[in-house]
């Protein structure tokens, strides 16, 4: 069973607003890279803490895998949320444990479920989704 774990890698995706993240987990030494940059070098501390949540919940087992995340679109926090969702889904698939899935759901459901909200389409007679042109004849 150990030999199978040595060769396999798991890829999952996560979404938040306009950000899309693709995470890959493979056996390694516990390195985490986001867009080829180590997580420890990330400039914003909130982003670092947000992405570290699923890794901290897994505990010591996270040190036996390397995590590579590619994120594009959206803003900084949207990318962080998308990355943490992708990482959590990878952990669930890689370790194949229902207890881990329950732990993630109990901590925060958005760790496993991508955010379905999207922008409303523009409506006729208006500048955007909700705004309308004003009438001046009253």
Write the CATH number for 98. Answer: 3.30.230.10
Number of domains forming the structure of the chain: 1
Quick check: is 113 in a domain? no
Angle 55-117-97 (CA atoms, 0-180°, nearest 5)? 30
The HSE-up count of residue 107 (CA atoms within 13 Å, CB side) is 19
Quick check: is 102 in a domain? yes
Predicted local confidence at residue 138, as pLDDT: 63
Quick check: is 118 in a domain? no
Quick check: is 121 in a domain? no
Predicted local confidence at residue 12, as pLDDT: 94
Quick check: is 86 in a domain? yes
Quick check: is 59 in a domain? yes
Quick check: is 128 in a domain? no
Alpha-carbon span 37 to 33, nearest angstrom: 5
Quick check: is 79 in a domain? yes
Structural domain including 50 reads 2-108
Q: Tell me the mean pLDDT per 10 residues along the chain, length 138.
A: 64 92 94 93 90 92 93 94 94 91 90 85 88 79
Predicted local confidence at residue 11, as pLDDT: 95
């Amino acid at each position: 069973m150990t030999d199978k774990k040595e060769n396999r890698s798991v890829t999952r995706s996560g979404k938040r607003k306009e950000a899309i993240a693709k995470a890959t987990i493979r056996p390694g030494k516990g390195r985490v890279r986001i867009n080829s940059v180590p997580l420890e070098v990330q400039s914003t501390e909130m982003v670092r803490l947000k992405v570290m949540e699923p890794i901290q919940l897994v505990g010591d087992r996270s040190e036996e895998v390397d995590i590579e995340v590619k994120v594009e679109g959206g803003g900084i926090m949207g990318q962080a949320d998308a990355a943490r969702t992708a990482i959590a889904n990878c952990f669930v698939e890689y370790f194949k444990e229902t207890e881990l899935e329950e732990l993630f759901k109990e901590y925060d459901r958005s760790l496993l479920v991508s955010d379905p909200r999207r922008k409303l389409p523009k409506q006729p007679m208006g500048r955007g989704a909700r705004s309308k042109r004003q009438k001046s004849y009253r």
